């Protein structure tokens, strides 16, 4: 049992002006954390208690499927050179030199170190499968640290890596993680959604993110209220309504003297944007450092999703071309660029234009567009791919219901890596025929602080502002710094104090993580501090003690009931049991 009077729980009346999201404000005000520098936080007593509880849940679920390691944060340059990522990671990776001038970096992730162990230690298919995990501090030099613990430069991650003999084995390891992650997030009290995610250009074949809806999040996800289809915007698709095409005709130039944009051309020719083809000219710097040109065609009313486009072209950094580059590369002025006769490294047709006909698009000639252009007939794209953003309200690809778009924060990610690291770093084992084969890998991550912040954001969003005008929240009991606070409303009253002591001892003995607020403060101050700390259950020892009763406040349900003093432990046990059902 803990006594508030003995603990260091520094609260703030107000959050700093730069704290915008609820979790940032609350973590600072309640004394969970203090900022040391941009994106660098110290976790004080309350913050550390919640973190330790999250870590314990993660460890328990991960121990059921894998083996815990602990890898160093300091990584020699050599292993990142071996994987080819020393140069790819750019400024996000903290780099340093040791006293002898050798290059080191601080690990952002540990595919390299894990694969290094695998390539040195694994020799035979008999040693597979392996799932190795760790709970360890990662460092990333975020360009814009913000939102408290949501985007920081140092954070704790559970990362795991699976090594299997074949794709079927990887499926099993991946599914084990999927189940473990669902257990972890449920036990941490989160309402999460698992979404299809972009596998990126890493050669992965499947990828799923675990998200918590919150306006504090920076990811957009599309979800179906009917069939539970959900996907990151970088992956989401929709079932578009069939468009009634314009009447057939031959390809012909049409004068559009100053009309360059979809809207300008549409107004001038009196034709809806759905009948136009939008041309996007981009440059991609590929992972091996080459520059390639891309011309992508989308329906006039659609927007490009750069992550989808990057995946379609095999990865790399994208940027739009400027007008001078477009003219130099394609001999066409910006605003009049079109598909017929255009030569680029990638000519990409968005999947939504597949099968369409009689479209209006640029003529590659100043002051002209073309009518009646039909993809496939009048020009051949090098690739047809889904490279657009879907919009809210478009039909679900599975059931046709209108999709919702919402902001969310990512709390976990599971990913079928494939052979990316086994190949680049030279990991192999002998299979049952004595043949050398590469193990197939998966990687899986959970952001420990993200669980804490998502829990706060979720609760704050549900509860809104309380009667005091304060942001209100309550931590899920499993990860709250304390599960229950016993508040002695007046410590000068010896009877109340003694009863508080008895009740708190009983709760502690029953296994509840209990704090006794024994401070010589007004009851209002104590209630406010307890609420600020997010403690989900409060037992108030006050005047009703004369009738043998105390007040039991359940902040998860906002219910408050009087309970006989000797029945407090049973009452709390009952509430916790029903909550966990």
Alpha-carbon distance 310 to 284, whole Å?
Answer: 8
Of 163 and 415, which CB lies nearer to its own copies in the complex structure? 163
The stretch near its own copies (CB under 8 A) out of 46-54, 260-268, 464-472, 552-560 is 46-54
Binding to its own copies (CB under 8 A) within 117-136 occurs at 117, 120-121, 127, 130, 132, 134
| Residue among 143 and 464 whose Cβ is closer to its own copies | 143
Nearer Cβ to its own copies, position 56 or 498?
A: 56
Residue 119, Cα to own-chain centre: how many angstroms?
A: 30
Alpha-carbon gap, residue 481 to 26, rounded angstroms = 13
> Which range in 92-100, 315-323, 430-438, 500-508 contacts its own copies by CB under 8 A?
92-100
* Binder among 16, 72, 341, 524 for its own copies (CB under 8 A): 72
Give the pairing of strands 429-430 and 346-350.
Answer: unpaired
Identified binder of its own copies from the candidate list 4, 80, 125, 139, rule CB under 8 A: 139
- As a whole number of angstroms, the distance between CA 210 and CA 198 comes to 13
Contact between residue 192 and residue 411 where contact means Cβ atoms under 8 Å apart: yes
Residue whose structure tokens are 């406010």: 528
User: Is 40 among the residues that bind its own copies (CB under 8 A)?
Assistant: yes
Q: Are 292 and 281 in contact (CB under 8 A)?
A: no
Q: Is residue 239 within the footprint of its own copies (CB under 8 A)?
A: no
**Beta carbon nearer to its own copies, 141 or 567:** 141
Residue ranges in 176-195 that form contacts with its own copies under rule CB under 8 A? none
Indicate whether 82 belongs to the interface with its own copies (CB under 8 A).
no
Which of 21, 27, 51, 262 is close enough to bind its own copies by CB under 8 A? 51
Q: Give the DSSP per-residue string, 192-238.
A: -EEEE---TTTT-S-EEEEEEE-TT--EEEEE-TTT--EEETTT---
C-beta of 53: minimal distance to its own copies in Å?
Answer: 12
Considering the complex, state which of residue 75 and residue 232 has its C-beta at the smaller distance from its own copies: 75
* Sequence-distant contacts of 261-264: CB under 8 A, at least 24 apart: 261/335, 262/300, 262/301
- For residue 271, whether the previous peptide bond is cis, meaning omega lies within 30 degrees of 0, is no
> Does residue 45 belong to the site contacting its own copies (CB under 8 A)?
yes
Size of the site for its own copies (CB under 8 A): 51
Q: Is 94 in the site for its own copies (CB under 8 A)?
A: yes
Is residue 4 close enough to count as binding its own copies by CB under 8 A?
A: no
- Three-state DSSP class for 414? strand
Burial class of residue 271 (count of CB atoms within 10 Å of its CB; 0-12, 13-18, 19+): middle
- Sheet-wide strand order for 291-299: 317-320, 277-285, 291-299, 346-350, 383-385
Among 26, 27, 149, 154, binds its own copies (CB under 8 A): 154
Residue 451, phi-psi category: left (phi > 0), alpha (psi -120 to 50), beta (remainder): alpha
Contacts (Cβ under 8 Å, ≥6 apart) of 502: 565
Contacts of its own copies in 100-119 (CB under 8 A): 104, 106, 113, 116-117
Q: Which stretch binds its own copies (CB under 8 A): 69-77, 183-191, 316-324, 526-534?
A: 69-77
Q: Which of 1, 76, 178, 497 binds its own copies (CB under 8 A)?
A: 76
Using CB under 8 A as the binding rule, whether residue 37 contacts its own copies is answered as yes
Joined tokens for residue 352: 């939504």
Q: Which of 442, 478, 457, 475 is nearest to 410 (CA)?
A: 457
Residue 168 is encoded by which pair of tokens?
């079927």
State the minimum distance, in angstroms, from the CB of residue 97 to its own copies: 8
Residue 36 binds its own copies (CB under 8 A): yes
Interface pick for its own copies out of 19, 27, 30, 44 (rule CB under 8 A): 44
What is the distance, to the nearest Å, from the Cα of residue 493 to the centroid of all Cα atoms in its chain?
Answer: 50
What's the rounded Cα separation, in Å, for the pair 506 and 493?
A: 20
Residue of 14, 17, 101, 143 interacting with its own copies (CB under 8 A): 143
Closest residue by Cα to residue 134 from 165, 110, 103: 110
Q: Find the part of the chain contacting its own copies (CB under 8 A) among 31-39, 81-89, 398-406, 428-436.
A: 31-39
Site for its own copies (CB under 8 A): which residue of 1, 48, 423, 437?
A: 48
Site string for its own copies, 426-465 (x = CB under 8 A): ----------------------------------------
Least distance in angstroms from the C-beta of 422 to its own copies: 17
Residue 157 binds its own copies (CB under 8 A): no
- Which positions touch its own copies (CB under 8 A)? 7-8, 10, 34, 36-37, 40-45, 47-49, 51-52, 67-76, 79, 91, 94-96, 98-99, 104, 106, 113, 116-117, 120-121, 127, 130, 132, 134, 137, 139, 141, 143, 153-154
């Amino acid at each position: 049992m803990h006594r508030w009077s003995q603990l260091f729980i520094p609260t703030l009346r107000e959050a700093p002006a730069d704290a915008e999201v609820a979790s940032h404000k609350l973590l600072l005000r309640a004394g969970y954390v203090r900022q040391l520098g941009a994106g660098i936080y110290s976790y004080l007593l309350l913050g550390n208690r919640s973190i330790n509880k999250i870590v314990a849940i993660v460890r328990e679920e991960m121990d059921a499927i894998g083996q815990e390691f602990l890898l160093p944060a300091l990584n020699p340059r050599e292993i990142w050179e071996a994987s080819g990522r020393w140069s790819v990671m750019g400024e996000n990776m903290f780099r340093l030199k040791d006293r002898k001038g050798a290059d080191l970096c601080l690990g952002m992730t540990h595919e390299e170190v894990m694969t290094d162990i695998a390539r040195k230690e694994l020799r035979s298919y008999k040693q597979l499968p392996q799932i190795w995990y760790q709970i360890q501090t990662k460092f990333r030099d975020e360009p814009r640290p913000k939102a408290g613990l949501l985007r920081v430069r140092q954070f704790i991650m559970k990362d795991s890596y699976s090594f299997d003999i074949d794709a079927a084995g990887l499926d099993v390891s991946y599914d084990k993680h999927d189940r473990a992650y669902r257990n972890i997030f449920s036990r941490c009290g989160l309402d999460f959604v698992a979404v299809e995610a972009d596998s990126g250009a890493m050669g992965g074949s499947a990828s799923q993110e675990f998200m918590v809806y919150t306006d504090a999040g920076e990811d957009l996800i599309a979800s179906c209220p009917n069939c539970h289809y959900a996907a990151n915007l970088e992956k989401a698709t929709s079932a578009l309504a069939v468009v009634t095409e314009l009447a057939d005709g031959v390809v012909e130039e049409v004068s559009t003297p100053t009309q360059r944009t979809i809207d300008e051309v549409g107004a001038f020719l009196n034709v809806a944007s759905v009948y136009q083809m939008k041309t996007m000219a981009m440059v991609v710097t590929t992972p091996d450092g080459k520059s390639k040109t891309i011309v992508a065609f989308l329906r006039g009313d659609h927007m490009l999703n750069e992550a989808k486009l990057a995946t379609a072209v095999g990865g790399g950094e994208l940027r739009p071309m400027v007008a001078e580059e477009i003219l130099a590369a394609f001999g066409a002025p910006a605003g009049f660029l079109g598909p017929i006769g255009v030569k680029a490294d990638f000519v990409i047709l968005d999947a939504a234009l597949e099968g369409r006909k009689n479209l209006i698009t640029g003529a590659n000639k100043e002051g002209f567009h073309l009518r009646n252009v039909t993809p496939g007939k009048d020009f051949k794209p090098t690739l047809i791919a889904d490279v657009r953003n879907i919009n809210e309200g478009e039909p679900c690809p599975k059931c046709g219901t209108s999709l919702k778009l919402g902001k969310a924060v990512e709390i976990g990610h599971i990913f079928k890596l494939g052979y990316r690291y086994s190949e680049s770093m030279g990991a192999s084992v002998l299979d049952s025929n004595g043949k050398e084969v590469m193990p197939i890998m998966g990687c899986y991550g959970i952001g420990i602080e993200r669980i804490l912040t998502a829990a706060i954001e979720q609760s704050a969003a549900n509860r809104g502002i309380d009667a005091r005008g304060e942001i209100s929240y309550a931590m899920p009991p499993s990860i709250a710094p304390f599960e229950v606070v016993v508040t002695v409303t007046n410590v000068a009253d010896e009877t109340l104090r003694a009863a508080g002591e008895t009740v708190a001892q009983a709760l502690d003995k029953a296994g509840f993580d209990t704090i006794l607020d024994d401070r010589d403060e007004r009851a209002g101050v104590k209630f406010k501090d307890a609420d600020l700390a997010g403690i989900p259950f409060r037992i108030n020892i006050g005047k009703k003690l004369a009738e043998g009763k105390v007040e039991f406040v359940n902040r998860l349900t906002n219910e408050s009931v009087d309970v006989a003093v000797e029945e407090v432990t049973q009452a709390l046990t009952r509430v916790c049991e029903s909550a966990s059902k």
